[in-house]
Chains A and B, each alone.
Chain A
């Protein structure tokens, strides 16, 4: 988990509320990723960013938004449009964008709906 921090560790969302998950890395990595983990489903890609001020949708982007204003930061907002947000959210980064690059993960944020 070293080098990538995620906060908070637990987050509670009320109906109709937008919430933002923080992801910061001090590895000087170019690319960053957000995944959602549900039991028995593995990890699914929400968004990824290869460079500052640019990002692309992953497989399950609906109901989520991101920004990449700084190289070290890639916050994820879970909007009210996401009807089933309860999950474990993982942020990752890679030094470059080549296929051989290793992804390193943060410790995760668990989002629960009140």
Chain B
């Protein structure tokens, strides 16, 4: 079975500081990994995905994520946080044979001025 875990319910960061939102995964075989962001009462917006190749994936709005196979992690990062980055972030995984995504429970990011 495939799954992801987001160990932090909430992350607090000061504006201008780097941010990290953690995600670990469990799949059989090679994973396809995704990050999405959700603003209140809105649908999910795609940020980035890892399929294969470079372990550092760059995405929308200055976000990036690092795939670490040995640690089975796919942490989301941004060098300098903005107040507007405050939202709910979801990590998701799909294995090669799967169709739908398995989502983590989400991490609420709060960036304070």
Contacts and interface: CB of A to CB of B under 8 A. Distances in A.
Interface stretch (A12-20, A43-51, A74-82): A43-51
Interface residue SS majority, chain A: strand
Interface in A50-64: 50, 56, 58
Contacts, number: 62
Contact of A107 (B43, B51, B105): B43
A90 B95 contact: no
B46 A97 contact: no
Could you say which interface size class chain B belongs to? 20 to 34
A108 B101 contact: no
Nearest to B49: A102
A41 interface: yes
Contacts of B46: 102-104
Given A1-B42, A42-B103, 5 more contacts: A43-B90, A45-B101, A92-B44, A99-B94, A104-B46
Interface of B: 9, 32, 34, 36, 41-46, 49, 51, 90, 94-101, 103-106
Interface of A: 1, 4, 6, 31, 33, 35, 40-45, 48, 50, 56, 58, 88, 90, 92, 97, 99-100, 102-108, 110
8 contacts: A4-B43, A6-B43, A43-B44, A43-B90, A43-B103, A50-B99, A99-B97, A103-B46
